[in-house]
Structure 1
Amino acid sequence: MGSCVSKGKGDDDSVHNVEFSGGNVHLITTKESWDDKLAEADRDGKIVVANFSATWCGPCKIVAPFFIELSEKHSSLMFLLVDVDELSDFSSSWDIKATPTFFFLKNGQQIGKLVGANKPELQKKVTSIIDSVPESPQRP
């Protein structure tokens, strides 16, 4: 249930080969792809769960498979992954103090936040969000 504040000396990405994206997790590599996915979520009426993470962060590696699992179970939500090192300026604009940090967004606005690799709390927040969204009628 920890979080990382800065990259430690001796952390070697090649030693720890963890899959951070997969399932229904969309890897965000540019500000434009972020904007596109938020627009898509708004259009589809989906709430976004954004994971601001780092490949060198131990707790991020621990929670990554669980995040992927959640994305596969809850297709009514949109799951995004942002590498804070790849998009450092963008991540700074979200005031990321530690990784992982999860933001929950509806219509582009923050409706929740969780800092740290706390799987039970992440599950609780996702469940709470799903329970708060009325089911949309099936389209013909």
Structure 2
Amino acid sequence: MGNCLDRLHGQNGSESHSVNFGRGDVQLITAKEVWDEKLSEASRNGKIVVVNFSASWCGPCRMIAPFYSELSEKYPSFMFLTVDVDELTEFSSSWDIRATPTFYMLKDGQQIDKLVGANKPELQKKLAAIADSVVNLAV
């Protein structure tokens, strides 16, 4: 499945693609402080955090964004976040993002799973497995 390894430019170097990464119940992270608040909120509420590290110029990111939004509605017990790697370059680097999209699944701020690339079936499978394990732990 697709992933972007380098920034793409239009012929004049200024082409941009507007993508709304924050549809559905997806929250766009615009600052490190917002990230910290969301992780604290998720920990307090016992929520799994799913993070999509994306870029507006990335074709596979744009392709999977609507599906990611659908997943946010399908799994309301998870918190869905998106980080634009160009807006938060240093922060994204601290997560060792080498390709977009990259998805992290976190519990209490710690990584429990990861997926690199716009692989819809694999993302769905990973979230379903996490949801099932959370349900089984609660029983």
TM-score range, shorter chain: over 0.9
4-13 or 99-108, which deviates more: 4-13
Q: Aligned partners of 1:66, 1:5: CA distance in 2, in Å?
A: 21
CA positional deviation for 1:17: 3.8
Paired residues, what number? 135
Structure 2 gaps, min length 5? none
CA positional deviation for 1:18: 3.3
Structure 1 gaps, min length 5? none
TM-score, with structure 2 as normaliser:
0.92
Amino acid at match of 1:23: G
Q: Aligned partners of 1:115, 1:48: CA distance in 2, in Å?
A: 16
Q: Aligned partners of 1:7, 1:45: CA distance in 2, in Å?
A: 36
Match in the other structure for 1:8: 8
Q: Aligned partners of 2:89, 2:55: CA distance in 1, in Å?
A: 10
Amino acid at match of 1:4: C
Alignment of 1:1-140 (within 5 A): 1-10=1-10, 12-13=15-16, 16-134=17-135
Counting aligned pairs with the same residue, the percent is 65
Q: Which runs of 4+ in 1 moved over 3 A?
A: none
- 1:70 aligned counterpart, secondary structure: helix
Amino acid at match of 1:9: H
Is 1:19–1:65's contact at 8 Å kept on the other side of the alignment? no
- 1:26 aligned counterpart, secondary structure: strand
Amino acid at match of 1:90: F
Q: 1:127 to 1:4 in 2, by over 3 A?
A: same
Amino acid at match of 2:6: S
CA positional deviation for 1:36: 0.3
Amino acid at match of 2:68: F
**RMSD, aligned CA:** 1.4
